């Protein structure tokens, strides 16, 4: 279906827009590799190209779905696992877009379901709310299911280790909430910045996101001290009345601080790519 293909391309372009955005503190971008020794921007390009074909599948599966939200989630997780294998093959087992792939799978699946009855050309915030609300229904109880009997598992993911140590549910909790950080923090800010250039809008939105989100990637690398540091630094930048040039300077300085502390807000980066995608739905005709 041509419409679904156009939406999937918008999602793919959002991944590229996020990784190309520079400077992003502690993250891979066009300027440097941030706090990452094992990946470059080319790694992210290869990763995005590997999972992009599955974006159309996610939407189409949702569009054809007739069962419950939880049944759709199971379909998306199955399809998403195939995309993840392609990603790992393309990156030689470097985890670049695991979190983003999961989130795009469930959101695009919910979007496909919504497309069964949506007749418009441009999405409104009400439409986005309904899509994210359905995502929440798809992911209901996800964290409690996934984290059941962790003490009996031989090998734990970073997210599972973090949950056992802190109780933080990470991307699973975000999905269960219907991506509240997107609807309540990032999207309103991107819309408020809509008259700015694309890069300035995204950088200012990213600062807003980092100042508000408890990024599980930061917890994994720097613990509570790391997340407190990032949120404080981001809030200081947010509260200043900076020109774009001054913002670039501040972000560059924060990038060096994050690299020195080996911190990387990868969870926030994933949310940014999702926000860029949803913003594009609000701003562009699809048909």
pLDDT at 167: 67
Are 186 and 271 spatial neighbours (Cβ–Cβ below 8 Å)? yes
pLDDT at 284: 86
pLDDT at 287: 66
- What are the per-10-residue average pLDDT scores of the chain (287 residues)? 90 98 97 94 97 97 97 97 97 95 98 94 95 96 73 67 69 90 96 96 97 86 89 96 97 97 94 98 85
Cα(57)–Cα(123) distance, rounded to whole angstroms? 21
Cα(55)–Cα(8) distance, rounded to whole angstroms? 5
pLDDT at 104: 98
Cα(11)–Cα(6) distance, rounded to whole angstroms? 9
DSSP 30-89: SS--TT-SS--HHHHHHHHHHHHHHHHHHHHHHHH--S-HHHHHHHHHHHHHHHHHHHHH
pLDDT at 219: 83
C-alpha Rg value of the chain to the nearest Å: 18
Are 139 and 118 spatial neighbours (Cβ–Cβ below 8 Å)? no
Are 132 and 110 spatial neighbours (Cβ–Cβ below 8 Å)? yes
pLDDT at 221: 85
pLDDT at 119: 86
């Amino acid at each position: 279906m041509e419409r679904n293909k156009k939406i999937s391309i918008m999602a793919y372009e959002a991944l590229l827009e996020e990784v190309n955005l520079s400077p992003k503190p502690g993250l891979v971008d066009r300027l440097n590799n941030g706090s990452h020794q094992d990946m470059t921007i080319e790694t992210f390009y290869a990763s995005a190209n590997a999972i992009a074909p599955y974006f159309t599948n996610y939407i189409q599966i949702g569009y054809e779905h007739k069962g419950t939200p939880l049944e759709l989630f199971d379909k998306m997780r199955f399809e998403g696992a195939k995309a993840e294998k392609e990603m790992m093959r393309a990156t030689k087992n470097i985890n670049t877009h695991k979190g983003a792939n999961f989130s795009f799978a469930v959101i695009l699946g919910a979007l496909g379901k919504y497309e069964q009855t949506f007749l418009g050309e441009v999405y409104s915030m009400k439409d986005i709310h309904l899509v994210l609300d359905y995502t929440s229904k798809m992911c209901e109880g996800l964290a409690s299911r996934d984290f059941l009997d962790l003490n009996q598992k031989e090998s734990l993911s970073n997210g599972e280790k973090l949950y056992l140590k802190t109780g933080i549910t990470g991307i699973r909790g975000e999905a269960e909430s219907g991506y509240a950080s997107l609807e309540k923090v990032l999207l309103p800010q991107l819309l408020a910045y809509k008259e700015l250039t694309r890069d300035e809008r995204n950088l200012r939105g990213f600062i807003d996101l980092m100042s508000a989100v408890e990024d599980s990637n930061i917890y994994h690398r720097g613990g509570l001290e790391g997340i407190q540091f990032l949120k404080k630094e981001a809030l200081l930048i947010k509260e200043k009345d900076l020109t774009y040039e001054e913002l670039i300077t501040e972000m560059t300085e924060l990038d060096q601080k994050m690299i020195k502390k080996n911190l990387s807000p990868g969870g926030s980066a994933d949310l940014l790519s999702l926000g860029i995608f949803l913003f594009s739905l609000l701003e562009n005709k699809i048909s």
